[in-house]
């Protein structure tokens, strides 16, 4: 599959499907473009999908702290949109998708946001959530402070994984997660401080694009809070919940997620 400079960054991408609609897929942190494979198998008749590896992920170049991480990733995403496309994002990738739609709405036909971890929107609306949110990340934050990347990766995947115990993961996967865990800190500013100013007064409210918000019923409760507050701001937003799913639902519940997406595309 191809690799080239995109927005000045060495970027690898892959393609799935041969459907009539073009889509751009933006994966979650600590993953890669191939993580869309399970979902793509269900969508291949409806979508022609392009998925790229975010900086520091997969086969793209190592992250070099050249700028704010979400901004660079959004700039890369824009280079794949020669005409308006359906943009699909998961977790951190969903926050990139949302920022792309706000900054370059002419490139985006619709949005599917699978558990965007845009903590700022929930915490700004309800500051009382801050203590509970900090407690959720306490173990991860302590491990990062101690420089224990393996423990940090374990803490992180316990919250945002698919429910598989850390000890049950293959050793190679545990090593890879620990080696990439610094990328979570690279994206932290975007998720908590909103440097892209997506929460500027009236900005989300002015987005005239259809948006589908998909969450798992077993995901951390802050996800539901994020979706509630995004749906209140976005004028054409819909929500759906996948029963029994956790944060990695595009992998674990690909059939249910694809069904929700196909209904969304057919209805608009």
- Give the separation between CA 40 and CA 254, rounded to whole angstroms: 9
Please check whether residues 93 and 20 belong to one and the same domain.
Answer: yes
Please check whether residues 80 and 117 belong to one and the same domain.
Answer: yes
Of the three residues 162, 184, 206, the one that is the final residue of a domain is 184
Please check whether residues 122 and 175 belong to one and the same domain.
Answer: no
Please check whether residues 173 and 53 belong to one and the same domain.
Answer: no
Buried b (16+ CB within 10 A) or exposed e, 64-73: eeeebbbbbb
CATH number, position 78? 3.40.50.1820
Domain-located, residue 189? no
Please check whether residues 141 and 87 belong to one and the same domain.
Answer: no
- Give the separation between CA 223 and CA 133, rounded to whole angstroms: 11
Strand partners, 213: 113, 239
Helix, strand or coil, per DSSP, at residue 214: strand
- Give the separation between CA 230 and CA 180, rounded to whole angstroms: 29
- List, run by run, the mean pLDDT of 10-residue segments along the chain (268 residues): 93 97 98 97 97 98 96 98 96 98 98 98 89 93 97 97 95 97 96 97 98 98 96 98 98 98 94
Where are the alpha helices (H) located in the chain, listed in sequence order?
37-43, 69-78, 92-103, 119-125, 129-136, 138-146, 149-160, 171-180, 182-193, 221-233, 249-252, 254-266
Please check whether residues 142 and 80 belong to one and the same domain.
Answer: no
Please check whether residues 120 and 215 belong to one and the same domain.
Answer: yes
Domain-located, residue 40? yes
Please check whether residues 173 and 244 belong to one and the same domain.
Answer: no
Helix, strand or coil, per DSSP, at residue 85: strand
Please check whether residues 153 and 214 belong to one and the same domain.
Answer: no
Report the domain count for the chain: 2
Please check whether residues 37 and 53 belong to one and the same domain.
Answer: yes
Domain-located, residue 152? yes
Give the range of the structural domain holding residue 154, as residue numbers without chain letter. Answer: 129-184
Of the three residues 164, 184, 204, the one that is the final residue of a domain is 184
CB-CB contact of 188 with 217 (8 Å): no
pTM: 0.97
Helix, strand or coil, per DSSP, at residue 215: strand
- Give the separation between CA 114 and CA 155, rounded to whole angstroms: 21
Please check whether residues 16 and 111 belong to one and the same domain.
Answer: yes
Please check whether residues 164 and 204 belong to one and the same domain.
Answer: no
Domain-located, residue 47? yes
CB-CB contact of 173 with 181 (8 Å): no
Rounded to whole angstroms, what are the CA distances from 112 to 94, 124, 147? 8, 23, 35
CB-CB contact of 118 with 198 (8 Å): yes
- Give the separation between CA 66 and CA 35, rounded to whole angstroms: 26
Domain-located, residue 176? yes
Helix, strand or coil, per DSSP, at residue 62: coil
- Give the separation between CA 125 and CA 121, rounded to whole angstroms: 6
């Amino acid at each position: 599959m191809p690799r080239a400079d995109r927005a000045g960054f060495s970027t690898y991408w892959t393609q799935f499907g041969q459907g009539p609609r073009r889509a751009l897929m933006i994966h979650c942190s600590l993953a890669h473009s191939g993580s869309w494979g399970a979902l793509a198998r269900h969508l291949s008749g409806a979508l022609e999908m392009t998925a790229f590896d975010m900086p520091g992920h997969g086969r793209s170049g190592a992250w070099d702290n050249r700028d704010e991480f979400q901004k660079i990733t959004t700039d890369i995403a824009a280079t794949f949109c020669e005409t308006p496309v359906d943009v699909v994002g998961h977790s951190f990738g969903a926050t990139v998708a949302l920022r792309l739609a706000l900054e370059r709405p002419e490139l985006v036909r619709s949005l599917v946001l699978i558990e965007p971890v845009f903590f700022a929107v929930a915490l700004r609306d309800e500051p009382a959530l801050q203590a509970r949110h900090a407690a959720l990340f306490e173990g991860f934050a302590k491990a990062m402070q101690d420089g224990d990347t393996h423990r940090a990766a374990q803490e992180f995947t316990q919250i945002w994984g698919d429910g598989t115990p850390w000890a049950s993961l293959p050793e190679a996967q545990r090593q890879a997660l620990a080696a990439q865990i610094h990328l979570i800190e690279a994206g932290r500013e975007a998720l908590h401080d909103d440097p892209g100013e997506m929460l500027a007064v009236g900005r989300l409210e002015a987005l005239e694009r259809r948006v589908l918000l998909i969450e798992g019923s077993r995901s951390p409760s802050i996800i539901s809070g994020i979706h509630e507050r995004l749906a209140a701001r976005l004028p054409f937003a819909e929500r759906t919940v996948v029963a029994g799913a956790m944060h990695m639902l595009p992998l674990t519940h690909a059939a249910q997620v694809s069904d929700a997406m196909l209904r969304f595309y057919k209805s608009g």
